[in-house]
């Protein structure tokens, strides 16, 4: 009997749906106590594991202790899109099939990006500061910000998140350019697509630089000091990729000296962001603590079935491949 390792929340909420779509599956549940550990004889039965959003961060140690001790583990599905953490490399080195939930949180993350853009494009931060002082301080007409329509956005990474950001931005009248290695395809929600090697050149005509790419050897440090300084004075950076994609020290300097108009940052070079980071106190920075997809638990109840009701496969290789797509359906319902 194949065995799937899940969290108490997934077992409690989705057991019936999982068993209906996957007859014969046994669910092995993590201990309710985050400090608890499963016995070795139970771990010997684990074939598949789901690292759902509710596991992180409180149950992470329990989950990875279990999966690293599961010698028969063949496949691991994770709720998040990025798998640059070294812990995932250890599974790949063991030959475990690894699949992600890339795209399952594209809409809420893109909405957070657009929300950050709106906060920075209008005097919301200025109004909020005046409100805290109970001060009636209308923004003078001479200091009013320009309308978004006609401004230029460059989106680095046109996966599910970047594409959704581009689609929403165009609804506000922005001219959107995408950056990725492959050329423009029919249906891409951008006016044009350029390769990463042209980013510094593109930056010179960019009002909003959106980072929505995975962290790879190619993208690490992609947004260098040269790229940041190539942006027009007053441009803004919106980062939901990874902190290491940007030269963070150069970003801070450009925000402090007024070259950049502001930033919405969900990710950082060091997480949690250290209390002494200047980013905390910069008046033109909006921070979300790697939480731009927040609110998924409430949305989960509104989705359809957890697994598609289609034939199962029990052969090891085929099962891993087919069930990875099935668990992506769980992730779309259980976005934490």
> What's the pLDDT score for residue 330?
42
> What's the pLDDT score for residue 296?
52
Of the two residues 82 and 70, the one the predictor is more confident about is 70
Q: In Å, how far from its chain's centre is CA 131? A: 32
Q: Is 44 tagged catalytic?
A: no
Q: What percent of the chain has pLDDT over 70?
A: 88
> What's the pLDDT score for residue 76?
96
Q: Is 303 tagged catalytic?
A: no
pTM score, whole prediction = 0.81
Q: Using 50, 70 and 90 to split pLDDT, how confident is the model at 101?
A: confident
Residue of 271, 303, 310, 318 marked active site: 271
Q: Using 50, 70 and 90 to split pLDDT, how confident is the model at 331?
A: very low
What average pLDDT score do residues 251-263 get? 98
Residue environment code for 37-54, b if the CB has 16+ CB neighbours within 10 A, otherwise e:
ebeeebbeebbbbbbbbb
Q: Note the pLDDT tens digit of each residue in 114-156.
A: 999 999 999 999 999 999 999 999 999 999 999 999 999 999 9
Residue of 74, 77, 290, 335 marked active site: 290
Q: Which of 53, 54, 32, 29 is nearest to 43 (CA)?
A: 29
Residue 22 has phi, psi (to 5 degrees) of -135, 70
Helical residues (DSSP H) of 49-208, grouped into ranges? 60-68, 86-93, 106-121, 124-132, 160-171, 199-203
Residue environment code for 99-108, b if the CB has 16+ CB neighbours within 10 A, otherwise e:
bbbbbbbbbb
- Give the chain's domains with CATH numbers: 3-104+296-333 (3.40.50), 106-287 (3.40.50.720)
Q: Rounded CA gap, 330 and 6, in Å?
A: 11
Q: What percent of the chain has pLDDT over 90?
A: 81
Instruction: Decide if pLDDT at 336 tops 70.
Output: no
Q: Note the pLDDT tens digit of each residue in 41-64.
A: 999 999 999 999 899 889 999 999
Residue of 74, 77, 180, 242 marked active site: 242
Q: Rounded CA gap, 238 and 109, in Å?
A: 11
Report, in this order, helix, strand and coil percent for the chain, each rounded to 5: 40, 15, 45
Mean pLDDT estimate for the chain: 89
- The pair of structure tokens assigned to 174 is 């922005």
> What's the pLDDT score for residue 84?
82
> What's the pLDDT score for residue 303?
34
Instruction: Decide if pLDDT at 175 tops 80.
Output: yes
Question: Around Cβ 111, how many Cβ atoms within 10 Å?
Answer: 16
Q: Which of 239, 252, 267 is nearest to 84 (CA)?
A: 267
Q: Note the pLDDT tens digit of each residue in 11-37.
A: 999 999 999 988 999 999 999 999 999
End-to-end alpha-carbon separation of the chain, Å? 29
Q: Is 271 tagged catalytic?
A: yes
Question: Around Cβ 267, how many Cβ atoms within 10 Å?
Answer: 21
Q: In Å, how far from its chain's centre is CA 293? A: 7
Q: Rounded CA gap, 144 and 271, in Å?
A: 35
Asked whether 178 and 158 are in contact (CB, 8 A), the reply is: yes
């Amino acid at each position: 009997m194949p065995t799937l390792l899940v969290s108490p929340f997934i077992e409690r909420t989705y057991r019936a749906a999982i068993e209906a779509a996957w007859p014969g599956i046994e669910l092995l549940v993590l201990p309710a106590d985050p400090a608890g550990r499963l016995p070795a004889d139970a771990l010997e039965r684990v074939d598949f594991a789901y690292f759902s959003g509710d596991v992180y961060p409180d149950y992470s140690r329990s989950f990875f202790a279990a999966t690293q001790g599961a010698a028969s583990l063949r496949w691991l599905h994770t709720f998040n899109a990025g798998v640059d953490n070294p812990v995932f490399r250890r599974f790949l080195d063991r030959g475990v099939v690894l699949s992600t939930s890339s795209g399952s949180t594209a809409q809420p993350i893109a909405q957070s990006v657009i929300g950050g853009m709106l906060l920075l494009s209008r005097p919301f931060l200025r109004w909020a500061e005046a409100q805290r002082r109970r001060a009636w301080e209308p923004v003078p007409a001479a200091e009013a910000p320009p309308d978004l329509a006609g401004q230029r956005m460059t989106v680095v990474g046109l996966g599910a998140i970047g594409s959704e950001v581009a689609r929403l931005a165009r609804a506000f009248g922005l001219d959107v350019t995408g950056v990725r290695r492959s050329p423009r395809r029919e249906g891409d929600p951008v006016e044009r697509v350029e390769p990463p090697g042209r980013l510094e050149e593109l930056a010179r005509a960019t009002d909003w630089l959106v980072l929505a790419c995975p962290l790879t050897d190619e993208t690490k440090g992609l947004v260098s000091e040269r790229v940041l300084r190539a942006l027009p004075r007053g441009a803004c950076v919106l980062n939901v990729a990874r902190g290491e994609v940007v030269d963070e020290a150069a970003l801070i300097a450009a925000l402090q000296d007024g070259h950049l108009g502001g930033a919405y940052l969900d990710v950082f070079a060091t997480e949690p962001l250290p209390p002494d980071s200047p980013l905390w106190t910069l008046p033109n920075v909006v921070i979300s603590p790697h939480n731009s997809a927040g609110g998924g638990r409430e949305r989960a109840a509104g989705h359809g079935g957890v697994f598609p009701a289609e034939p199962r496969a029990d052969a090891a290789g085929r099962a891993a491949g087919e069930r990875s797509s099935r668990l992506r359906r769980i992730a779309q319902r259980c976005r934490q």
